[in-house]
């Protein structure tokens, strides 16, 4: 009796975890393994069985200048987006943290961009930056910053910065939420003491707020960088990687090769290399910056 009870005690946690593990296997482990195997094959819609080609796909991808250019653009888009999101997110968190009338309403409005579906965001941004009717052109032209209306998403030099801004509008609020949550745990007495000692707002931010949020800061950089580097939906919806491939990042390149070029093996190889890049980045990040120490403190 007791033995059966002990067996049940051992099996029971596994039984409870089984649904989640099954879901993880089906939605994560299986597709990732499948993609890895696909990256060693030559497979097209007209040859679904495929042929084993070993490292040929990786050889083709690594010798393709477009891969390296897309990798660079990925870093530009990723780090550019993270920088804008952190600055905007931190600023918003600092503002929203203050006491003022209508704060609950403002906080709700601040969160709206994050909950708007990506497709709707892309549509809004297309209109804001439209070269004929867009409010961005209207405002910049009226203020004298532009001599005439310009194309934001259609110009090679402007497409990437515009994309970064359009993308950051939605995700900066996530950063705001994270920073706000951390700031709420800071002892308010520290600010009172600083006030008594005559510290300016900047000193209070630099000496109290910033050290307190440093751990979260580093974590946000890691997570947002990975997510932005992997971003497909907003880029595809707004520019499809154009004009002239100026916004083609690795996820877009993967899509173009797999679904426009019908080269599933090549697409899988690019996706695998993207994973490798991110894994190297994440490992370097943890080894060099040691963010876990900041979080503990």
Could you list the residues that contact another protein (CB under 8 A)? Answer: 5, 8, 12, 44-46, 48, 131-133, 148, 151, 153-156, 239, 242-244, 256, 259-263
Which among 207, 210, 202 has a CA at the least distance from the CA of 183? 210
CB of 221 or CB of 256, closer to another protein: 256
131 Cβ contact partners less than 8 Å away, ≥ 6 residues apart:
137, 149, 150, 151, 152, 154
CB of 170 or CB of 239, closer to another protein: 239
CB of 137 or CB of 209, closer to another protein: 137
As given in the structure block, the two tokens for residue 283 are 């490992």
The Cα–Cα gap between 150 and 209 comes to 41
Residue 99 contacts residue 184 (beta carbons within 8 Å) = no
Closest distance of CB 273 from another protein, Å: 22
Residue 230 contacts residue 251 (beta carbons within 8 Å) = yes
Closest distance of CB 148 from another protein, Å: 7
Closest distance of CB 151 from another protein, Å: 4
Which among 229, 218, 219, 220 has a CA at the least distance from the CA of 167? 229
CB of 267 or CB of 291, closer to another protein: 267
Closest distance of CB 154 from another protein, Å: 3
Closest distance of CB 80 from another protein, Å: 20
Closest distance of CB 83 from another protein, Å: 25
The Cα–Cα gap between 109 and 90 comes to 16
Side-chain-side CA neighbours of 137 within 13 Å: the count stands at 18
Which among 156, 166, 164 has a CA at the least distance from the CA of 246? 156
CB of 211 or CB of 261, closer to another protein: 261
CB of 259 or CB of 286, closer to another protein: 259
**Tokens 């999101």 appear where?**
85
CB of 148 or CB of 297, closer to another protein: 148
Residue 160 contacts residue 74 (beta carbons within 8 Å) = no
Q: Is 244 exposed, middle or buried (0-12, 13-18, 19+ CB in 10 A)?
A: exposed
Closest distance of CB 254 from another protein, Å: 14
Q: Which residues pair with 44 in a beta bridge?
A: 47
């Amino acid at each position: 009796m007791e033995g059966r009870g002990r067996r049940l005690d051992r099996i029971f946690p596994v039984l409870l975890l089984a649904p989640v593990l099954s879901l993880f296997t089906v939605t994560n482990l299986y597709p990732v393994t499948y993609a890895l195997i696909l990256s060693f094959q030559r497979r097209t819609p007209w040859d679904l069985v495929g042929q084993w080609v070993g490292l040929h796909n990786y050889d083709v991808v690594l010798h393709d200048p477009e891969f390296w250019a897309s990798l660079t653009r990925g870093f530009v888009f990723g780090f550019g987006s993270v920088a804008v999101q952190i600055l905007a997110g931190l600023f918003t968190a600092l503002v929203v943290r203050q006491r003022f009338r209508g704060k609950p309403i403002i906080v709700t409005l601040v969160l709206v961009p994050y909950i708007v579906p990506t497709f709707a965001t892309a549509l809004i941004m297309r209109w804001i930056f439209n070269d004929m009717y867009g409010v961005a052109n209207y405002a910049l032209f009226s203020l004298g910053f532009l001599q005439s209306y310009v194309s934001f998403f259609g110009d090679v030099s402007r497409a990437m910065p515009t994309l970064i801004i359009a993308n950051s509008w939605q995700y900066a609020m996530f950063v705001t939420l994270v920073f706000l949550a951390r700031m709420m745990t800071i002892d308010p007495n520290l600010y009172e003491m600083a006030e008594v000692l005559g510290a300016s707002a900047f000193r209070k931010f630099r000496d109290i707020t910033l050290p307190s949020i440093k751990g979260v800061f580093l974590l946000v950089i890691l997570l947002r960088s990975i997510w932005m580097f992997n971003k497909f939906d907003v880029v595809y919806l707004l520019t499809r990687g154009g004009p002239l491939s100026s916004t083609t990042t690795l996820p877009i390149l993967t899509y173009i090769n797999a679904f426009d070029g019908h080269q599933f093996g090549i697409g899988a190889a690019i996706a695998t290399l993207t994973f490798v890049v991110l894994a190297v980045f994440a490992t370097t990040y943890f080894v060099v910056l040691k963010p876990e120490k900041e979080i503990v403190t």
